[in-house]
Amino acid sequence: MSNERREEAKTLLSRYPYPLFSVTQFPFSPTDEDIACFAKQIRKDIILSTYAAGSGHPGGSLSSTDLLSVLFLDVMRHRSNEPKWSNRDFVIFSKGHVSPLLYALFAETGYIPREKLATFRDFQSPLQGHPSNLWLEPVEVSTGSLGQGLSVGVGLALALKKKQSSQRVFVLCGDGESQEGQIWEAVMSAAHYRLNHLTLIYDYNNLEIDGWVEDVMGIAPVKDKFESFNWHVFETDGHYIPAIREAFAKALQVSDRPAVLVARTSKGKGVSFMENQADWHGKAPNRDQMLQSIDEIEKEDLLQKC
């Protein structure tokens, strides 16, 4: 059955091409419609890769999709034909379990073939359940243990600051993840060293594996907490492309301290039966659910005509 799922996923992946493979250097001044169509493709990739594996984390991957689509196309400097380009910006997925999103981004910007997504979580596949830089060159940092990615980002940003480099570090973390004390040690350190090279993308979908974040371990008020640690805070709708672009633009203008985008999102965004359901934190769709998901994503109107 596993091989059948993977073969079906591979076939379906070939039916939904998004023509960015000719672009090798980013950002490339996309329109809002470009980004929204790209995000729609990423969502389909997430569904198909987790279906192929029969496991994975679609919920948080879908909630972060629009944020990271803007980052990869419109903000972050990177070259898909040169993963270790010396002037690239860095992206770290501190919530490493949303690897389906990272691999989809790599596939749709030309780092890896799209059909490789059908090997997600297969034995010996470079697309491991959590990103590993030993298995896949574009992965900057192996992540998976929650709370650690931001600390690595702080170290990178401090090195860039000392080098007086123009490169930047972008770290994606989740709200449930920020219940880890190491996150706040890193937040404190980043402010102390005034790491303006660092931008944190905070996916505030308010759900984690055990339920609502505020029921498990309350973290509110998030904006006030970051401001009390002397960060610049930019709140945004994490699913509205123009608002996300504006928030990133403001964050990149910060020159005296780190910045954070606190993005209100919905877990499982784009798939009706997954949205705001903790049960879809770490569960793959079956075949009927996969087909329904693809159909709903195809019909979703984010502001574009894809």
Position 189 confidence tier, pLDDT thresholds 50, 70, 90: very high
* Residue 64: per-residue pLDDT: 98
The answer regarding whether domain 2-299 maps to CATH 3.40.50.970 reads yes
Token couple for 248: 């990133």
pLDDT for 18 beyond 90: no
Does residue 117 have a pLDDT over 80? yes
Q: Per-residue pLDDT tens for 124-140?
A: 999 999 999 999 999 99
Contact 28, 73 (CB under 8 A): yes
262 has a pLDDT exceeding 80 = yes
Please state the rounded mean pLDDT for residues 39-50.
97
Asked if 101 and 70 touch (Cβ cutoff 8 Å), the reply is: no
- Whether residue 188 contacts residue 225, with contact meaning beta carbons closer than 8 Å, is answered with no
Please state the rounded mean pLDDT for residues 173-183: 96
- For residue 236, give the 3-state DSSP assignment: strand
What is the per-residue pLDDT across 203-244, written as a single tens digit (0 to 9) for each?
999 999 999 999 999 999 999 999 999 999 999 999 999 999
Is the pLDDT score of 305 beyond 60?
no
Whether the pLDDT of residue 304 is over 70: the answer is no
Q: For residue 93, is pLDDT > 70?
A: yes
Q: Are 297 and 66 in contact (CB under 8 A)?
A: no
Domain boundaries, the chain: 2-299
Asked if pLDDT for residue 302 goes beyond 60, the answer is no
| Residue 2 reports pLDDT greater than 90 | no
The pLDDT score that the predictor gives to residue 78 is: 98
- Can you tell me the mean pLDDT for 282-303? 89
Using the predicted structure, report yes or no on whether residue 19 has a pLDDT greater than 70.
no
Task: Tell me the C-alpha distance between 211 and 277, whole Å.
Answer: 8
119, 55, 60, 157: CA torsion to nearest 10? -50
Mean pLDDT, the chain, as a whole number? 95
